[in-house]
Amino acid sequence: MPARDDILNRLRTALRQPELRFPPPETRRLTADERMTVGRAEGDRWALAHRFGTELETLHGSFEVVETVAEARMAAIGRLQMWVAEDLDARRTERPEQPGDRDVMIWSPEELPIDGLTPALTDLEFQLIEPQNLHDNDERARVRHARAGITGVDAAFAATGTAVLAAGPHKSRAASLTPFRHLLLVPISRIFPTGEDWMAKMRQDGTLTDFLRESRNVTLISGPSKSADLEGILTMGVHGPKVVHAVIFDDIEAMIRG
């Protein structure tokens, strides 16, 4: 391979030129303080909550911030009812109702951060579906028409508007990936300035390894699904939900009182 060797020798010779700015003649490992992060976010829990929402909005999502768990419950119910009304209004036919209009894919109640949400939705005639095995034809048929999905989050990053969802036995990833709309329930206690801060906390607590081992899948969600062609034309909802809305609420006061 004489041609290849000649090219490599010329590259090595060129890189030895003393006036080159790169690569530096001596390199050293960066310290923890010098490592660059994807972004930076500062402030108290309310500042981080609004920063997360603002970043999500920039990524074509939407959000609302409320003060209590009870308000979060009402906000989630109100959002689902609004989505159903939007679908009915958009169809403009004599019988606008369609299969799946009130079907909601959801995590198990014990995994959701809002108590009492699932009974309230059932009372309002929403059909709650907790996916179990989507390899089964009957199960796939059961969830195919669901227009909305509800999940909690394992963590959220204020600097990038990113939510972390770990799939498990009672936390189906289908609830966040297959419906047209995704409703995120985000407790303030799970919002971190950056992903690096979250991982540092997990390492400090000794829980990071177990979290990764016990999770079937870890998904990072930054707004609705998006794809673009060669001309940069953005299309929403190609590989997942077209709509992502976050209900952000303060669970810290409730934890203190409890």
**pLDDT of residue 85 exceeding 60:** yes
Residue 160 near residue 127 (C-beta atoms within 8 A): no
Confidence of residue 22 (pLDDT cuts 50, 70, 90): low
Q: What's this model's pTM, rounded to 2 decimal places?
A: 0.82
What residues pair up with 157 in beta bridges, in sequence order?
162, 192
Residue 191 near residue 254 (C-beta atoms within 8 A): no
Confidence of residue 166 (pLDDT cuts 50, 70, 90): very high
Could you report the per-residue pLDDT of 204-256, keeping only the tens digit for each? 999 999 998 999 899 999 999 888 777 777 788 888 899 999 999 999 866 66
Domain residue spans of the chain: 43-253
Q: What is the CATH number of domain 43-253?
A: 3.40.50.10420
Report pLDDT for 35. 67
Q: Within 10 Å of residue 145's Cβ, how many Cβ atoms?
A: 15
Tell me: cis bond preceding 23? Omega within 30 of 0 counts: yes
Place of tokens 């940069």: 232
Q: Average pLDDT of 178-197?
A: 96
Place of tokens 């799946």: 100
